[in-house]
Chains A and B, each alone.
Chain A
Amino acid sequence: MTTLDAVYYVRFSDQNTTLCRLAGPDYDPSHPAATFAYKPTNGHIRTSFPNLWEGQRTDVLLHMPMAAGVAEILDPLTLKLLWTSPQMPTPLLALVEPQEDILVLSTWSPDPPHFMSMVGYQLAVPPTVMWQWNATSETYAGFSFVGVARSPFGAAPLACGSIRVWNKAQTDSQASFFCLDSSTQVVSLNFTTSPNNNVVLASFIVCFSLPSSTLRPPLTLPFRRCSTNGHCFINRPQAT
């Protein structure tokens, strides 16, 4: 991972793993400007992917050691540990919105009791919990946090996720997409996406900047398809 003035990399040894920051002008790996040592997760495959996210506006470095079940906030220059999230039972997903003000940690348990959880934090040092959602399932269930949708009309943000619940024999499953009001935890949107596994969540768009005139329904976005030879042509999505 590189920024304008730093390069972060991970160095492995038998006892621990060290996150290093190299500084210019020479960026010498033998003389890192700052280091942060942490214990590697047992059985974790070594990877050069540092799993970092740098908030340049919030001036924090978010570190998620692979498969460790925690998220950490580090000082981006000194790599001093500023905050560690509560331990999660399974590898977690962390996300910071482009506005760099919301951090979401989510987890789910593959072992009984099957529970799902996501926690929204106001990103600061230390972060403060804004909202929390927990659910349980009597049968095997998988959960993934998808994203935070912000209202263009001042309503509370929606926390959206995807759930797949299996039957008792684990021979069939049903996936649903849902959003809940982050201020009340009331589900505002919930629909089945794959009764026959023919609809899958492709992506979640955080936001599009659009002229207000284009927000009138039905909303139609022009897409321009561009080939590798530089030629582009318009392919207008079908309005419904």
Chain B
Amino acid sequence: MFNQWALFYQSATGNLIAIDCFTSNANPLASPDWVLTDQNGLVSLTFSDDLSFMVAYYADPVRVIRWDITT
């Protein structure tokens, strides 16, 4: 089984939010599937080929953090 998300970064709150692409919700930003908080300064995300982790790049201060995705 798998699920599919579009990820949006909300600079005003510093939240990274995930939207199910198959949702029927008319306003999915208001009720995302999950939220990763405290992502202030997030610039980009890069996923590993096997989707087991993602690398987040932040600005001010510049830093790189690896996030492991576990089930």
Contact = CB atoms under 8 A, between A and B. Distances in A.
Interface of A: 98, 146-147, 149-152, 155, 158, 160, 177, 179, 188-189, 191, 193, 196, 198-212, 214-215, 217-227, 232, 235, 237-240
A240 B22 contact: no
Interface in B1-41: 1-12, 16, 18-23, 26-29, 31-37
Contacts of B29: 191, 193, 199
A188 B20 CA distance: 12
Contact of B4 (A205, A211, A218): A205
Nearest to B45: A203
B6 A207 contact: no
A232 to B, nearest CB: 7
B34 A239 contact: yes
B3 A215 contact: yes
The 6 closest A-B pairs by CB, nearest first: A149-B21, A207-B2, A202-B9, A149-B4, A224-B68, A203-B45
Contacts of A212: 1
Residue among A147, A209, A211 having the largest count of chain B Cβ atoms under 10 Å: A209
Contacts, number: 146
B7 A204 contact: yes
A146 B6 contact: yes
B71 A199 contact: no
Given A205-B4, A206-B4, A226-B66, 20 more contacts: A146-B6, A152-B2, A152-B3, A191-B29, A198-B12, A200-B8, A201-B9, A202-B16, A202-B44, A202-B45, A203-B7, A207-B4, A208-B3, A208-B71, A209-B51, A210-B71, A218-B33, A224-B70, A237-B35, A238-B37
A193 B42 CA distance: 17
Interface of chain B: mostly helix, strand, loop or mixed: strand
A189 B47 CA distance: 24
Interface centre among B22, B54, B68, by most A CB within 10 Å? B22
Contacts of B54: 203
A196 to B, nearest CB: 8
30 contacts: A152-B2, A177-B19, A189-B28, A191-B26, A193-B29, A198-B12, A199-B8, A199-B9, A199-B11, A201-B6, A202-B8, A202-B16, A202-B45, A203-B7, A208-B3, A208-B4, A208-B71, A209-B2, A211-B71, A214-B71, A215-B1, A217-B33, A219-B33, A223-B68, A224-B68, A225-B65, A226-B67, A226-B68, A238-B36, A240-B35
Interface of B: 1-12, 16, 18-23, 26-29, 31-37, 42, 44-45, 47, 49, 51, 54, 65-71
B12 to A, nearest CB: 4
Given A203-B7, A206-B4, A210-B1, A223 B67 contact: yes
Given A237-B35, A240-B33, A179 B21 contact: yes
